[in-house]
Structure 1
């Protein structure tokens, strides 16, 4: 990647591209001033762009961070990376407007997520347009005008995070923050061919967010790749005592997904006559099958019933509360009609709605038990700007068919591109799972995106090769198993029932010996370090941190868990054996692994 004479198209960088540019001696000031100079303040996806002074102040702070890191850029994972935020999220010294100029105030502090991203080296380049007060899935309800679709300007971009999706889709920044209450972090992703990560409620703190529905709001991430969205969410996420709705990850959910997962799919699907979007979804289902996914229909009626509650019941009163104090004449007419309807509900209505939400949420989570994810169209249809003017409420409601229930049911979600319709417009799918399954969804999302030959957003650029990682994911413990816990072996269920995920098959370092222990049921091996050894085949499994103790508690003597060295030098937790049990054990090192030994035993019986 060249750092000189960049065209605006060449700024369609992923995080890896920006990191490589700086490793190739490019300087943040050079690249970021060039980027800012090419961004148009007439582009209504932006509500405001950084001033030269604001950019220089951030660059000075970045140098301070680099000095503290002793010049090591790798310690700042977002070093010099530009990003954007939806203009209902605070940044110190910037105005926050929620797309209502009369509501505007100057933020005195960064939202927690913004502070964390800046601490990782990221540079805020601008704040983006939105459906006013984050009320809408369309991107047209703003005094700054409709943000148009990045593929066809006669169509909507989706909202409410319209600007945040648009600037990523066009490659102006590699990632942005949106918000998602009813689908605002997913619908614009689907309409613009990008990734929308809707995190588990409370993972990304909402401190510094202008609320829409405070009990269900989520700050979300847009990116060109699933890998980038996951990286940003990891850096921005985590418990925040300042946010009453922030939660700590219990670390009990899987951090990956098995190679042949089972997905639920709605037993009946509605596309409102949009045969082009329907065709893309059906093609996506076939692609999932090709990737080894088993698809199983489930009753979708509880999902639909819960989705209806968000706008057609007392929950809308949360939006009414959020705009208290804003003069009605300053609110977009469609938005005003929605928030005014909240006054018709009583406290009794609200409690009854909460009881219904809890009942339907339980039904939904019970229905998803046993599945790795639920797959749905991100939106069943898309509409032109002209169509939206004719039916602003009805068509908005259609967009939320497969999104509105998500936060009420406490689900995690990942919207990913699925393909282009016959008319060239994008369509997407969304993967949903219970709370804290975010990393598992991302693991499959990366595999899904790599399997498609789609451009990144509207940039025309192909997905660059994704580097595999051997890093252990936060919230898990990597364990090497050598015998009865291997895939298909009698005790493998002790891993799978604890949401452990197979990572790879590999070898130990060449200084181990393997023994068949006497009198064990089922038969088990013992692994012991030896100067006269060889490499032994093992499987690596990632176990959720909170389930690791349960797993270890079931390990009988003489086995235990210690540190195991792999052939490539990595150190992981693994099965070891107390020396006293080896005196009457059979040395089976020559087999190179437990499977080969078991196969030889079975062959001998035959």
Structure 2
């Protein structure tokens, strides 16, 4: 039987395995694992199997998660199961599913149960729970990572192929690294948080754990979408992973700014990961990590801890001993935050956002260790606050700066400790990170989670236009890596494919254009040259803004591609090529530039 979402859905649709059999397998594996600290509550097995059997009456092709068992972090509401946030005294019975759970069911997924977490989603270690400590799937003595500990372990151990966590300070990324799985932290507002118990409501997001990047991307497509029930929901672009514009600029901190807290092996592993990205075609670009470090310190040293206090202040007043002592010590500090403190921090954050935004003008994505090192449960017990803080040095700033992230396994050390890296980009670039992360993860040839099973062959991507997108044929300075490509990147455009036109065009170097640009002129069919081009996808709104800014003598018309299809693309007015150099024999602008440098 298959292990990944993609393969399981294919088997379910083909009828070689049924959703009911897959659900039953999950329950059997939970019993075999025999770790009562992974799940806080489980659905009745017969009820879950009956729900899986009922899928047979639905259109399987329309259900992207057809028959997939899913585990849900226990700060996300599931009708019929209590929401505890790992605090029995706080537990309540939700009246309905959280929006994200309703979307899971609508996509054909079957909820298995609610998973353990650092109490009130406060922590990156996974040990602050009265329900016990889930055993790390890779090495029993390691912390499982938090706060989404149970969700990460459930996927790594093969109990379910998909689980949901939340991520405010790194809770969807740190446990992914420590359990050798993929952790997708989407752009804020991309997945609804209606029905999710807040940690910091202004910063929270639902995260996704899966065995492969492609599986995480499948889930994201099913779960994303604007939700009026969530005041922080946003209408953000989202596309499936696709080809990458090359060369992709990968931001890397200065060597003296990286912290590994004495773990020389993690430092070597990070450098090895960077070299793997270089071999995949990325260009390293050094940047200043200082504003990101300063932002990270704001999360717990600043007023945002008051948001955590707001959620449980009544419990702290009435029954403080019900809260884990470490968690209580962190959250009680929020009671003393003043309005002046809050505004001072907001002003500082805005300045740091401006500085960090400038960094992303020169890079396409940022590469960081997911965590600087790993700790055992025993080590953490000796110094719970300091070691927890160390695990968040590369994660705490992400939501404050409105970034999306993808944590990907990188290597497994000889001592069995996993190491991983995280790709970061501004909100709305989730597909770009998935496109790069899937190539990297496949290239590592790591086994999936703790299963010891190889990754499936990387599926070929057939890029498709989204319902709100328009294809644009680019021929010159807007090609990937060329002078004006940043204009497309700024509009969240994505590369669909590299191809060439039908032999119906001539290409000219336009005199006096700054930066240098070509003009492509349509001639009689078959009497010209085939010109190498790129096809990009833009939202309709972005396409309109882009076209409005195009200067004469260039214009947008219909361009015939080699496969006979038509797409909107750059053309030039015939009068503009009078006296211009005909460069058609080069076959494209990139070849001409290379030959003239």
TM-score (norm 2): 0.87
> Residues of 2 paired with 1:57 and 1:97: CA distance?
26
2:228 aligned residue (241, 244, 261): 241
Which ranges in structure 2 are unaligned for 5 or more consecutive residues? none
Maintained 8 Å contact 2:504/2:527: yes
2:538 alignment partner, one of 531, 536, 544: 544
Any idea what the Cα deviations from partners look like across 1:42-83, whole Å, max 9, x if unmatched? 44211222213431453365345x1xxxx4x22211111111
In the alignment, is the contact (CA less than 8 A) between 1:15 and 1:81 conserved in 2? no
Say whether 1:262 aligns with 2:249.
yes
Distance 1:232 1:251 in 2: 12
Matched, 1:54 2:47: yes
Worse-matched range after superposition: 149-158 or 342-351:
342-351
CA distance in 2, matches of 1:491, 1:412: 24
Distance in 1, matches of 2:379 and 2:111, equals 35
Whether the 8 Å CA contact 2:167–2:206 is kept in 1: the answer is yes
**For residues 242 and 598 of structure 1, do their structure 2 counterparts lie closer, same or farther at Cα, with a shift above 3 Å needed?**
same
What SS does structure 1 have at the residue aligned with 2:313? coil
Count of residue pairs the alignment pairs up: 579
CA contact (8 A) 1:528 1:577 kept: no
Alignment match, 2:558:
562
What's the counterpart of residue 289 of structure 2?
Answer: 300
Is the counterpart of residue 105 in structure 1 residue 105 in structure 2? Answer: no
Pick closer, same or farther for the CA change 1:256–1:99 going to 2, 3 Å: farther
Q: In the TM superposition, what is the alpha-carbon distance from 1:180 to its structure 2 partner?
A: 0.5
CA contact (8 A) 2:200 2:308 kept: yes
Asked if the contact 2:121–2:199 (Cα under 8 Å) also holds between the matched residues in 1, the reply is: yes
Secondary structure of 1:90's aligned partner? coil
Q: State the Cα distance separating 1:204 from its structure 2 match.
A: 1.0
Q: Distance in 1 between matches of 2:25 and 2:38?
A: 19
Q: 1:86 to 1:142 in 2, by over 3 A?
A: same
Match of 1:417 in 2: 409
User: Which residue among 459, 462, 471 is the counterpart of 1:478?
Assistant: 471
Instruction: Give the whole-Å Cα distance in 1 for the aligned partners of 2:25 and 2:182.
Output: 26
Aligned-partner SS, 1:84: strand
Aligned equivalents of 1:55, 1:363: Cα separation in 2: 50
Q: Answer yes or no: is 1:514 the counterpart of 2:510.
A: no
Moved more, 99-108 or 123-132: 99-108
- SS of aligned partner of 1:445: helix
Equivalent residue number for residue 85 of structure 1 = 72
**CA 1:132/1:476 → structure 2, altered by over 3 Å: closer, same or farther?**
same
The Cα offsets for residues 89-126 of structure 1, whole Å up to 9 and x where unpaired, read as 11122221111122222222111111112211111122
Name 1:272's counterpart in structure 2: 261
Query: Any gaps of 5 or more consecutive residues in structure 1?
Result: 3-10
Distance in 1 separating the partners of 2:9 and 2:160: 10
3-state SS of 2:71 partner: strand
Cα distance, 1:443–1:473 mapped onto 2, change above 3 Å: farther
Give the drift of 1:286.
2.3
- Which residue of the other structure, out of 384, 388, 402, is the alignment partner of 2:376? 384
Q: Distance in 2 between matches of 1:224 and 1:529?
A: 52
On the 8 A contact 2:143/2:375 being kept in 1, the answer is yes
Q: Are 2:440 and 1:448 aligned?
A: yes
CA contact (8 A) 2:135 2:143 kept: yes
Instruction: For residue 188 of structure 1, report the CA deviation from its aligned partner.
Output: 0.4
* Residue in 2 that maps onto 1:5: none
Partner of 2:362: 370
Q: Cα–Cα, structure 1 residues 213 and 484, in superposed 2: closer, same or farther, change >3 Å?
A: closer
Equivalent of 1:526 in 521, 528, 534: 521
Distance 2:126 2:384 in 1: 11
Q: CA deviation at 1:295?
A: 2.3
Indicate if the aligned counterparts of 1:251 and 1:476 stay in contact, CA closer than 8 A: no
Q: 1:141 to 1:598 in 2, by over 3 A?
A: closer
Hey, what's the Cα distance between the residues in 2 that align with 1:24 and 1:294?
A: 45
Query: 1:329 and 2:321 equivalent?
Result: yes
CA contact (8 A) 1:480 1:538 kept: no
SS in structure 2 at match of 1:34: helix
Question: Is the CA contact 1:483–1:595 (under 8 Å) kept in the aligned structure 2?
Answer: yes
**Contact 1:230 1:442 (C-alpha < 8 Å) held by counterparts:** yes
CA contact (8 A) 1:85 1:128 kept: yes
Conserved in 2, the CA contact under 8 Å of 1:591 and 1:597?
A: no
| More moved, 207-216 vs 427-436 | 427-436
1:570–1:19 CA distance, 2 compared to 1 (3 A): farther
For 1:190, the equivalent position in structure 2 comes to: 177
1:157 aligned to which of 134, 141, 144: 144
Show the counterpart of 1:35: 26
Once the two structures are superposed, residues 369-390 of structure 1 have per-residue CA deviations (whole angstroms, 9 ceiling, x without a partner) of 2211221111111111111111
- Check conservation: 1:481, 1:538, Cα contact below 8 A: no
- 1:265: Cα distance to partner? 2.0
Of 398, 403, 408, the match for 2:395? 403
RMSD over equivalenced CA pairs, Å: 3.4
Q: CA contact under 8 A between 2:5 and 2:65: conserved in structure 1?
A: no
> Does the alignment pair 1:462 with 2:462?
no
* In structure 2, C-alpha distance between the alignment counterparts of 1:39 and 1:349, rounded to whole Å: 47
- 1:423 offset after TM fit, Å? 1.3
Post-superposition CA distance 1:406-451 (Å, at most 9, x none): 1111111111111122312101111112221211111111121122
Q: Secondary structure at the match of 2:7?
A: helix
Whole-Å separation in 1 of the counterparts to 2:51 and 2:524: 52
Provide the secondary structure at the position in 2 that maps to 1:96: coil
2:119 match:
132
TM-score by length of 1: 0.86
Shift of residue 234, structure 1, vs aligned partner: 2.0
Contact 1:257 1:372 in 2 (8 A): no
What do residues 440-473 of structure 1 show as CA deviations (whole Å, max 9, x unaligned)?
1111111211221211111111221122222235
Q: Contact 2:531 / 2:584 at 8 angstroms: preserved in 1? A: no
Alpha carbons of structure 1 residues 103 and 269: separation in structure 2 relative to 1, 3 Å: same
- Number of the residue aligned with 2:159: 172
Question: After the TM superposition, which of the residue ranges 179-188 and 422-431 deviates more from structure 2?
Answer: 422-431
Give the 3 Å change call, closer, same or farther, for CA 485–596 of structure 1 in structure 2.
Answer: closer
Structure 1 counterpart SS, 2:301: coil
C-alpha distance after superposition, 1:189-209 (max 9, x if no partner): 111111111111111110010
